[in-house]
Amino acid sequence: MKKINYLSLIAAALLFFSLFPPAQAQDSYYPYSYARISYLRGEAIVERASDLGVESAEVNFALSNGDKILIENGLVELSFGRNNFLRLDCYSVLELARLPENQNGEFSLYLHQGRAYLRISYLEQDKQFSVHTGDASFYVLENGLYRFEADGEEGTLAIALNGSLETAGQAQSLILQPGESILAYEGELEPGASDLAYQWDELASWNQERDRLLEMAASSGSGYLPREIREYEPELSSYGRWVYERPYGYVWVPAVTVIDWRPYLIGRWTWYPRIGWTWISAEPWGWAVYHYGRWHWRLGLGWYWIPTVRWGPAWVHWYYDANYVAWCPLSYYNRPVVVINNYVYERYNEAYYPINSRALVMVKRNQLQLPDSVRAAVRPSELRGVEKIRLQERQPSRQPVASASLRPSSLSSTGKTPDKTVRELRSVSRTELKSAVKANVRQPSSPVPAQPQRKTTISNRQSSSFPSRTNSEQRVIRGKDSQGYYPSSAQAVRKVRATEVLREKIEVRSANQDRTTTSSLRGPETRSSSQSQVKTINNNRRAYSPEKSLPADRLKSTTSTTTSSSIRSSPGSPKANTVQRQTVRPVNKKG
């Protein structure tokens, strides 16, 4: 009898979990296929791949393959997960050439120009992270801190502050040990001394500050989150509190002040080719709680987040028709959360969803991509008697509209150059580094043979996806699918100068045409000596002097050497004091 009861209980449990699978059983995406903007100070824009337009950069924005970030005046930190960060200085341009699609994938970053720090805290394999410029390719061999400075005029400077870094040039490959640096220029490698090349600046101070916060966060962890996402625990602890909630264990309760707040309310939706509609949270703590885990609600506690380790663009169910789009968060059992009159239904399995649930967010369909500060929420009373809607897991099929309100910044425009170049931002010049080489202070002495099959070297640039400085016209903007190119700084300066010269020629030509038109309308003029005297400066210029008159002998000598004008006497006036301009040339009053 007891055996039968046990079998019935097991069967009931299997049936229950088949109807309500827990969050861990859901399919998800590789969590490191997208980079996160984890810090932003100042202004930056993102030129998205696949012709998806230009968007303003913001914290928690997800970057994918081929996206390019351009920093106009500020500082940006990109997070690749597992406490791996890239910190960019102002006037820097970075392209995410490749992000991993699975566990064995690699991170390939192309630094078009600017300065950056790369902090690596976790490597699954050697050379998993690589930084490429128009001069050389750099491969990270172990955890550490690395600095890069890419200048279109001076080459690329790489410094291994902590850890080892392999540099691949056109004909050789060198390994930098901690404290060593190297200068690469058009595929040529010039080892140098770090103590002469490295300068402490604002970027170095900011990088040290971010590293200090990272160390404090690692030492203050309390183990509330699973190991896979434990890096987000200090961030969440700063914006909420941890509560033990059965049967889920420790959950996180956000500290919010918005009336009638609910998950997936403060932010906006952005469309990506591979994963579809993705939630971009405007809350600083929103990356982990909207791409991992599930949400529940309880009276006396409010909304709380249950941690799980599967990443996704957003854990919601959708409703959409010709006029409206709605979404609501999923519970731990992958069912839409329903909150009505202080009652919560975590395993709601009805075919239709009540529209008066406090977990639902509904907007007009044309406002799906707008931020919460702009879009208008649709109230149930506006639906004219509709009480329930049918939710589904499938996303809306409507394609996004590429943003046209923003334009590429001056860093990507051929007609403008930034106010400060990389050289003016205290980058180490090639001459300074050459002097360091002559001083024969620490140089990398571990040459290794180049391995073209494992990395992209400059000697094979024509077959590579990374542009070379030797072909400066081809500066990739968004990766392989893009047809646009990014000009070097020298090209930009030349185009600016050519534009200015052309503009000056057009202005001079239009001014001459206006003067010619004015002269033809006025007709021939005859000026007496009491009004003006002509002083011939050369064959092409004349100046009028209305008050001073030339002596007779000076006038004769001048007119005798002039070949471009005709001077003759006027009847009734002394011959030496009367001149008449040839009426073919325009009148020039100002000289």
Query: What averages of pLDDT result for each successive group of 10 residues across the chain (591 residues)?
Result: 49 44 58 97 95 94 97 96 97 97 94 97 95 97 97 91 96 93 93 62 95 88 89 95 96 95 96 94 97 97 97 96 94 96 93 95 92 88 86 82 44 40 42 40 41 36 37 34 37 52 64 56 45 38 39 40 39 40 44 37
Alpha carbon distance 393, 330 (integer Å): 10
194, 180 contact by CB (below 8 A) = yes
Please choose, from the candidates 313, 318, 342, the residue with its C-alpha nearest in 3D space to the C-alpha of residue 328: 318
pLDDT at 191: 86
- Residue 380 preceded by cis peptide, ω within 30: no
**Predicted local confidence at residue 546, as pLDDT:** 40
Cα–Cα distances (Å) from 348 to 193, 294, 319, in that order, read 66, 15, 16
Model-level pTM greater than 0.85?
no
What the block records as the tokens of 571 is: 């009847």
Tokens of residue 364, six digits = 């007009």
* Neighbouring C-beta atoms of residue 589, cutoff 10 Å: 11
> CA-CA-CA-CA torsion for 284, 251, 393, 100, nearest 10 degrees?
60
- The DSSP output letter for 197 is H
CB-based contact 243:301 (threshold 8 Å): yes
The reported pLDDT for the residue numbered 507 is: 66
For residue 517, give the 3-state DSSP assignment: helix
> What is the per-residue pLDDT for 328?
97
Instruction: Quote the CA–CA distance of 526 and 509 in Å, as a whole number.
Output: 27
List, in sequence order, the alpha helices (H) in 51-120: none
Token readout for 418 is 């930034």
Identity of the amino acid at 534: V
Which pairing describes strands 343-345 and 129-132: parallel, antiparallel, or unpaired?
Answer: unpaired
C-beta separation of 517 from 511 below 8 A = no
- Quick check: 69 and 88 in contact, CB under 8 A? yes
Cβ pair 518, 587 in contact under 8 A = yes
Phi, psi dihedrals of residue 92, rounded to the nearest 5°: -100, 150
CA distances in angstroms from 406 to 46, 57, 89, 403, 566, listed in the order given = 10, 11, 22, 7, 61
